[in-house]
Amino acid sequence: MKVKAIHQFHSGSAYGDAITNGMFFIQRILRDLGFESNIYVEHIDRKLKGKLFHFSKYKTDENNILLVHHSLGHDLDEWLLSLKDKIVLVYHNITPARFFPKDSALYRYSIKGRKQLKLLRDISVGAIADSELNKKELVKVGFDEKSVFVIPLLFDINKIREHSFNKKIVDEFSKFFNILFVGRIVENKKQDELVEVYRLYRQIADKPSRLILVGGTTSPEYEKKIRRKISEYNLQDEVILAGKVPYEDLYAYYRVADVFLCLSEHEGFGVPLVESFVFDVPVVAYDAPDSNVKYTLNGGGVLFEEKSFKHIAGLLSLISKNRALRREIIKTQREALKVYENFNVIQKFINFLEWLRVEVDEGRKEQVLSSQKRSKDIKIQIEGPFDSSYSLAIVNREMARALDKLFSNKVSLYSTEGYGDFPPNKEFLEKNPDVKRMWQLGEKGYRADIVTRNLYPPRVYDMKGLINLMNSYGWEESEFPKDYLENFNRYLDALPVMSPYVKKVMIDNGISIPVFEVGIGVDHVLKIKPKEFPLRTKKRFKFLHISSCFPRKGVDVLLDAFTSAFTKDDDVALIIKTFPNPHNNVEELIDYYQKKNKNCPEIELINEDIPDEYIVSLYKQCDCLVQPTRGEGFGLPMAEAMLFDMPVITTAYGGQRFFCNEKNCWLIDYKFNRAKTHMKQFNSYWVEPSKEDLVRLMRYIYSAPKEEIEKKTKKAKETILSSFRWEDCAKRLIKVAEKVEQLPVFPEKKVKLGWISTWNIRCGIAAYSKFLIDNFSEDIDVHIIANVVSSKDILDESLERNVSRIWRYGAKKEVESIIKEVEDKELDSVFIQYNFGFIEVYSLGRLVKELKDKGKSVFITFHSVKDVNKPDFKASLRWIKEELSLADRIFVHSIADMNILKDFGLVENVALFPHGVDIKQADKERVEQLRKELNLKNSKVIAAFGFLLPHKGILELIEVFAILREKFKNIHLLLLNSLYPIPDSKSYMKECKKKIKELQIEKNVTFITDFLPEEEVANYLELADVVVYPYQYTQESSSAAVRYALSLKKPVLCTPLEIFSDVSDVAFFTENTSVRSITKELELLLKNPKSLKEKQKVIESWLKSVDWKVLAKRLENIVKYHKLYRNLTT
């Protein structure tokens, strides 16, 4: 049948309305197929004038087809009956009348519209229903089932995908968990119930959230009801009634949505459900009777059969926290979306026309269908800087190029940094057309299969991939910022990193997602043609150093070593290539060493950005790369130098150990040391390269025969070429995504943990264990394997559940019993709290080895690692270093202990784990009472706290106080030093009292030697301006007493002993242990109350980092990681 025109009719029209949009979509298809096609309506929206015709203008023709859209009753029955055209019904469903007020026009026209279906049945030659439910309704009123085709002709999916959007909205809402609903404000849409669910969700949410309601108001009274409810729950700032919005805003809201929630009682189709599918927004919807939602979802999303608000809120919370669940939901939606793709919908429509025997031009049909294939199908989007020589830009750019070779035209780049988006450099794009092409494919918030980022700060909260990853992430010091870590755990699916060093750092900080070693490629430098850099030096041998010259790069150590190893008479120069930056003081350092050493060897500084061609030239012109780094995520210059056959001297610790070893370079010895970076993090360490060892290695390389050097440089080049090409890294990155896909949606997170420790008795380690265990989540099922004690020593009988008392102090034979207990209780992991008196050293080694042989994860906390060398007792962990190397982690509390274990050969499995602090509060009323009793109203109070023992320096503090009393009128010494049950303590007390009397300071000293309850200690210490710990010597590795004072936010002054190293970030320190040194420092503090207040602010920040809850969560995640991911990520 030859048909010239196929027109459309609908009673109403509205800008942005689904049916109106569908009519425009059909019109475009028909015109592209070669048909004349117009749209006629009874009511023309003023925004659509010129695009629609009034129905009265329609010229009927028996050779035409008229598509009659029907969604509500109208008064044009007679007009329809008068038409000569072949009528095709397009049925969009009619909202049942029960949802409208009985006195409303909508109520009347709903009833009339259903009656008109019989009229349309009698005059139609066929029908299109946009859903299965609508087809069923037509069949129910007498339509022939074979004449009704289900074709969802309501939206142009490609147009939705490619439409512009409001980036301001995306930026504004990206930090929130956004629950979206799109639909008219009308009773059947149930927005008031969405507010109820949101209120419940907020009670269990663990991040800021928003409920966004988009849609114009049909029922003003219902809108008032919603607003009243929002006010009642005080949610005015969190529930957004956006109203009817332009498409740019609508598609922005979809882009920031984290879930689409629909509780509507009736949907004729539910276009926003499909729009949510397009933007990979997980859909949660109520399966209302007589609603099309179930059919529209087509097996995608999550469907609730009953409205249980608390269960729906629970699911929202689960989706917000479980990315694997979110991913599985989206996969179902992507499959469901296929039936709505333009190609499939248009093919069905053409099939329908052909069923009507309408002739469709084959050429035009082919053209129309081929034009509907997706113009952009991005698999991977890489987000971050990519247009400069910045190291992160190199990583992003080169990874993109390597991935593009694997997935041609399916990789995009998006230009952004930690603080926001920025346009890439135009000149760079013109010089790099492949990068420009990938950038042109990029899109803000694009929901690719894989989205990766590398930027600083590491912003991840607005990543929208099905799988979110960092791109070969790097970190250089031991501590990782807590807020960064929490965001990684929440928004990423896995963490690909540069090196095993970075992987260990992340695990030790408590990451809860799998970490994979992906590495960095180096082969991009081989494509750069060198351009000779004009060096000034004429020296034969040239050492090269390339870095930012930040403190962690060790340029100070390098200059010290170089100026010690050589003189100006040697035929050698040091070339330092850096660039100006705020953390770089290399010019002052060079000036210092040149002035210090009149015979200083030649040093040439290149302090500017230079092109890559010059960098490659420096590798070729110089003879050895020297990088005495304190901390490195990977060490790109070392790898690049190896590619150019250059010998490399670098520190034997850090990310560079991924490819640097004794066989391919020259490694500098080191000691662990506290990190001093601009990050200013507590408890963070890096390493201090040995100047002496660096001197030795530089002298060796300078004088060594070429053949000796080449033995290592040849192996170095082989190492880089075999594993560190960008293609290798890209394949490893894809492998990470594949492994993420295999992760279970609901993994078994429960860990059955054996905890070997003293327990529920007066013992510091028993208390330490309790603090941690009390703060573990339900995921950790702890079974305590404790020492045998008499019943009178047990503090609390209720704490004896899940406790097996098996071993005695100095345990040897009990090791077998411990292992049997671990097996009988089917424990996954074992945590040992160790003190030399608990288990004999060799027995500890045997215990660790046998547990590892049985496949258990083993963790040990050593509360002291120093050798014990007493006449009656000797012990050293060195004796069992091989067995200890098998442990999954060894935790220590001080950097000094890390260095001791390093000397034993234990580094790879050792981690610094700070002591926790239980934050205390004094009783204000009791404090004021004590202040009156002690007459301290106008006094500055110096306090000391802890057991009274000779090594603790109380005698020296009394002398210090006597000196200070001559300089300060109103000062008081408060000694809270209880007797310890040994003779030395009583003797020392007598000595102290004698000294107080001799110095005639009795009226200014309060000396309490009774053991006070903790609460009363807090009240007394609250009186202090500063608490002093004047220890003279000790074997202990940490002090509970100093942490107690800090828990009250009190400034503390300590002598410079190792026992206080774990509080070095927050304490004041004397120069040495002498009376003179303590006096000097205390006098300065008493004269400068401002410094005491500033230190209190630092203490407050520190307390957050050592809160027992924070530390327990960190430890729990470390234990879980070894159960969940150890085998997956190896």
Q: For residue range 234-279, what is the model confidence (pLDDT) as tens digits?
A: 999 999 999 999 999 999 999 999 999 999 999 989 999 999 999 9
Indicate the pLDDT class of residue 1035, thresholds 50, 70 and 90: confident
Residue type (1 letter), 841: V
Question: How much is the pLDDT for 375?
Answer: 61
Taking residues 1089-1114, report their average pLDDT.
Answer: 95
d(CA 730, CA 379): 13
Q: In the 8-state DSSP scheme, what is residue 449?
A: S
Distance CA 80, CA 1070 (A): 99
Categorise residue 243: left if φ over 0, alpha if ψ from -120 to 50, beta otherwise: left
Kind plus residue range of the DSSP H or E element containing 841: helix 841-853
Question: How confident is residue 920, by pLDDT bands cut at 50, 70 and 90?
Answer: confident
Contacts 24+ apart (CB under 8 A), 1061-1064: 1061/894, 1061/895, 1061/896, 1062/683, 1062/893, 1062/894, 1062/914, 1062/915, 1062/1038, 1063/1039, 1064/674
The answer to whether the beta carbons of residues 191 and 225 sit under 8 Å apart is no
DSSP 730: H
Q: Which two tokens stand for residue 559?
A: 């200059």
pLDDT of residue 1130: 73
Considering Cα of 982, then 987, then 991, then 992, what sign does the dihedral take? positive
Which residues contact residue 82 at a Cβ distance below 8 angstroms, ignoring those fewer than 6 apart? 60
Any alpha helices (H) in 144-292, and if so which ranges?
A: 157-162, 167-173, 191-204, 220-232, 247-256, 271-278
Q: Is 892 helix (H, G, I), strand (E, B) or coil?
A: strand
Q: If we measure between CA atoms, which residue out of 807, 895, 810, 910 comes closest to residue 859?
A: 910
Mean pLDDT of 618-622: 98
pLDDT of residue 1: 78
Rounded average pLDDT over 115-121 = 95
Residue 217: strand pairing partners: 185
Quick: pLDDT tens for 387-417. 998 899 999 999 999 999 999 999 999 999 9
Is residue 912 within 8 Å of residue 1009, measured between CB atoms? no
What is the pLDDT at residue 524?
A: 96
| Better pLDDT: 992 or 580 | 992
Residue pLDDT, tens place only, 278-323: 999 999 999 998 899 999 999 999 999 999 999 999 999 999 999 9
Name the band, by pLDDT with cuts 50, 70 and 90, for residue 743. Answer: very high
DSSP state of 1061: G
Query: 């009511």: which residue's tokens?
Result: 43
Tokens of 386: 């990519």
Q: How far apart are CA 554 and CA 559, in angstroms?
A: 9
Angle formed by the axes of helices 191-204 and 220-232, to 10°? Answer: 20
Q: What is the DSSP string of 806-825?
A: EE-TTBSTHHHHHHHHHHHT
**C-alpha distances out from residue 1073 to 341, 512, 987, 1042, 1107, Å:** 78, 44, 22, 16, 30
pTM equals: 0.91
Residue 752 burial class via C-beta count within 10 angstroms: exposed 0-12, middle 13-18, buried 19 and up: middle
Tokens of 863: 């509360």
**What's the token pair of residue 303?**
């469907």
Q: What are phi and psi of 653, to 5 degrees?
A: -150, 140
Contact 551, 586 (CB under 8 A): no
Instruction: Tell me the Cα Rg of the chain.
Output: 37
Nearest alpha carbon to residue 859 among 721, 988, 983, 754: 754
* Mean pLDDT rounded to a whole number for the chain: 95
The pair phi, psi for residue 831, each rounded to 5°, is -115, 120
Confidence of residue 100 (pLDDT cuts 50, 70, 90): confident
pLDDT band at 999 (very low <50, low <70, confident <90, very high): very high
Q: How many CB atoms lie within 10 A of CB 880?
A: 20
DSSP 655: G
What average pLDDT score do residues 438-465 get?
A: 95
Q: What is the pLDDT of residue 533?
A: 97
The SS3 assignment for 521 reads: coil
The pLDDT-based confidence of 374 (bands split at 50, 70, 90) is: low
Give me the mean pLDDT over the 188-207 stretch: 96
Q: What is the DSSP letter of 600?
A: P
pLDDT value of residue 390: 87
- Burial (CB < 10 A; 0-12, 13-18, 19+), residue 524, is middle
> pLDDT tens digits, residue range 581-619?
888 899 999 999 999 999 999 999 999 999 999 999 999
43 Cβ contact list (under 8 Å, min separation 6): 11, 12, 13
> How many Å apart are CA 847 and CA 806, to the nearest integer?
14
* Terminal C-alpha separation, the chain: 67
User: Contact, 806 vs 817, CB < 8 A?
Assistant: yes
| Mean pLDDT computed over 1096-1118 | 96
Looking at residue 373, what is its pLDDT?
75
Residue 834, both tokens: 């160790």
Cα 866 from Cα 887, distance rounded (Å): 19
Question: Is the pLDDT higher at 371 or at 380?
Answer: 380
Q: How much is the pLDDT for 1128? A: 85
Helical H segments across 233-308, by residue range? 247-256, 271-278, 293-297
- DSSP labels for 901-914? HHHTT--TTEEE-P
Q: Looking at residue 16, what is its pLDDT?
A: 84
What is the Cα–Cα distance from 846 to 624, expressed in whole angstroms?
A: 46
Contacts of 482 (CB under 8 A, 6+ apart): 1105, 1110
Model pLDDT, residue 315: 98
Among residues 1050, 1085, 1042, 1079, the alpha carbon closest in space to that of 956 is found at 1079
